[in-house]
Structure 1
């Protein structure tokens, strides 16, 4: 490749990348009185998800829809992996039911791979397979969420190639700002049930609600330090038994703590979601990456997202097992 051709290629990739907002464009509104309070939207990854510890997979979506309706959640976002859709199990009808209930659907790749484990070209091809199933369906939104929140790790060239590919496809990053690692809590419950252990459901509900409320408060404080205001947050949940059982309690606790539940559309309209943080390791929540980019000191990561902290807490509070200090 000639130098001229190389320069043209670099220019093309640069044009395809979405326009990055500087931190100054994410700062507070000019009139502080116009700044909204704490706002948060709900999103659910890994749709359709496999069996959990308590509820039959075929029954879980109806429970989740009913819980969201009772909780007064107008619109949540469901991020879909079409490769997991089994026609015989009615998974496509389930996704249609989410949309019929007022929720929206978006792209979570076709097969849920790690970007760090494959080439950018193969990863984008997997996204395209998901788009082929999703685009044109009722409730579709042109949002993409990275499985495992893995945006390429230390490989900035791969990160930028996928960012350019998303822009070319008209997809925006479906970032999350709040994460309580509900997937890990679910797995601990599954493991306990398989081991025949007694699970204190009341204690599990309290731990689930407390963890996500703490995570939201942590993320909001961190965001205010990083960009000077409280953005419209996006909570990462998964289509789990725990969500079906406890999301109503979680929403009630958030409201009691002063949070307003907003739609996914409203949350992603916040300019924070157009940011393109440049950090040494591209993985995790948007809040964490913006704090890292601004060189804020740790902690930038909610402590219970560390499984070494979360697992003993689950054992002590939910299984009532003695744990070593």
Structure 2
């Protein structure tokens, strides 16, 4: 029986056998804080809630992408980063001030990256912090700027943290703060429902894009943000990914897939995002836009007769 079982296991691991479970790497941007917050929120307590949720879900080391200007300008949130590191979670570079490459230009952008490095080197103490995520996911206004920044990233030894799954989770923070202020529990419940629905839509979209471009699932890199509402929803979000059949992997493991070759080595020619390469191909699912409904949620009506 043992040879037969071994053959069956090998068959299941091949393209002709059962498909392996899809994998996902969780990454979090904008540490140590992303506003707005409901009034009275203990932002440092949110760090404990996030790290505890990640530990309970056994997702492995989750990279947090840091803008250290926030901690330097607001010492009240600086302990967030200490809690993150004490939990054994790695940090990486998101630019010191979250500078927009398309606005500030190449030289200032590189300076912003470099300004973040002393904190990262001290916090990681020999561990790998040389992962970079572009603020706003903007990589250059033209090919020349994009290639120049990539060349500098390569010179500094960085890998690029790609994004192959996202649902703009930060859009739920402002309406959540408004609804909490208004005491509208029904609206908060609807925000919870739509948040999880958007995450499901993003799964469907990303998997359809990967199949259109690569003919297979790839290990997905999920972008979510530090914020009050994602903190509230994180246990349910992680449980939902498990229910959908995902297994959790680390960012380095996900990007060891050949699909991420140009991200692991910025000296290579760049490729467009997964969503752009999949655009227009057959069978690609497009997620609905939740933005307008979220922007209208818990807005104070204008007084009668006002403009």
Give the alignment's TM-score, normalised by structure 2. 0.80
Which of 195, 202, 205 is the aligned partner of 1:215?
202
- Cα 1:222–1:50, aligned 2, differ >3 Å: closer, same or farther? closer
Give the alignment's TM-score, normalised by structure 1. 0.76
After TM superposition, the structure 1 = structure 2 runs for residues 141-290 of structure 1, keeping only pairs within 5 Å, are 141-153=129-141, 155-193=142-180, 196=182, 198-200=184-186, 201-275=188-262, 277-279=270-272, 286-290=273-277
Residue in 2 that maps onto 1:97: 83
Residue in 2 that maps onto 1:307: 291
Q: Contact 2:44 / 2:79 at 8 angstroms: preserved in 1?
A: no
* 1:60 counterpart = 2:64: no
Which of 14, 19, 25 is the aligned partner of 1:41?
25
Which of 76, 83, 97 is the aligned partner of 1:111?
97
Distance 1:193 1:152 in 2: 38
Q: How far has the Cα of 1:136 moved from its partner?
A: 4.4
> What SS is found at the alignment partner of 2:278?
helix
Q: How far has the Cα of 1:192 moved from its partner?
A: 4.0
Q: Contact 1:288 / 1:301 at 8 angstroms: preserved in 2?
A: no
Superposed CA RMSD in Å reads: 2.8
Q: Contact 2:176 / 2:229 at 8 angstroms: preserved in 1?
A: no
* 1:85 counterpart = 2:71: yes
Distance 2:286 2:131 in 1: 24
- Structure 1 window deviating more from structure 2 (202-211 vs 36-45): it is 202-211
Distance 2:216 2:131 in 1: 24
- Cα 1:188–1:277, aligned 2, differ >3 Å: closer, same or farther? farther
Q: How far has the Cα of 1:35 moved from its partner?
A: 6.5
| Count of paired positions | 276
Distance 1:135 1:298 in 2: 44
- Cα 1:309–1:38, aligned 2, differ >3 Å: closer, same or farther? farther
Q: Contact 1:50 / 1:57 at 8 angstroms: preserved in 2?
A: no
- Cα 1:90–1:271, aligned 2, differ >3 Å: closer, same or farther? farther
Q: Contact 1:213 / 1:250 at 8 angstroms: preserved in 2?
A: no
Distance 1:86 1:140 in 2: 23
Distance 1:156 1:150 in 2: 12
Distance 1:104 1:217 in 2: 29
Structure 2: which 5+ runs fail to align?
Answer: 1-12, 263-268, 302-307
- Cα 1:147–1:298, aligned 2, differ >3 Å: closer, same or farther? farther
Q: How far has the Cα of 1:119 moved from its partner?
A: 1.4
Q: Contact 2:33 / 2:77 at 8 angstroms: preserved in 1?
A: no
Deviations 1:167-223 (A, max 9, x none): 1111111111111111111122234445x3614333322222221122022101111
Q: How far has the Cα of 1:310 moved from its partner?
A: 5.1
Structure 1: which 5+ runs fail to align?
Answer: 1-29, 280-285
Q: Contact 2:23 / 2:247 at 8 angstroms: preserved in 1?
A: yes
